[in-house]
């Protein structure tokens, strides 16, 4: 049995969540968002980057396979790949 934090959670501790939320508030990142907040999106994208997954669908599938450990990894909820895709469409800055 695991007696400490998971490695991914230890890596998330390097990101200051207070500063992250300050940036989200400054740029209205969570404006008109109900469930899939910016922090959760960031954590899931970071998980995909670290595990070198190459698509949103594979990130969602991998997180659904580890549903019991999501809380310990720092993920608040797993989402469907369509929700993830829509959130990333809004996330891309326009020129």
pLDDT for 92 beyond 60 = no
- Interatomic CA distance for residues 19 and 39, integer angstroms: 11
Per-residue pLDDT at 26: 92
Give the per-residue pLDDT at 58: 93
- 29 pLDDT more than 70: yes
Res 27: pLDDT: 87
Give the chain's mean pLDDT: 84
pLDDT at 19 over 90: yes
Phi-psi region of 78 (alpha: psi -120 to 50; beta: other; left: phi over 0): beta
């Amino acid at each position: 049995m695991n007696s400490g934090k998971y490695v991914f959670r230890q890596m998330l501790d390097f990101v200051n969540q207070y500063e992250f939320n300050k940036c989200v508030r400054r740029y209205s990142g969570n404006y008109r968002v109900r469930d899939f907040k910016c922090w959760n999106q960031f954590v899931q994208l970071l998980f995909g980057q670290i595990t070198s997954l190459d698509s949103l669908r594979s990130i969602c599938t991998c997180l659904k396979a580890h549903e019991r450990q999501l809380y310990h990894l720092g993920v608040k909820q797993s989402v469907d790949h369509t929700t993830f895709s829509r959130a990333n469409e809004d996330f891309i800055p326009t020129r």
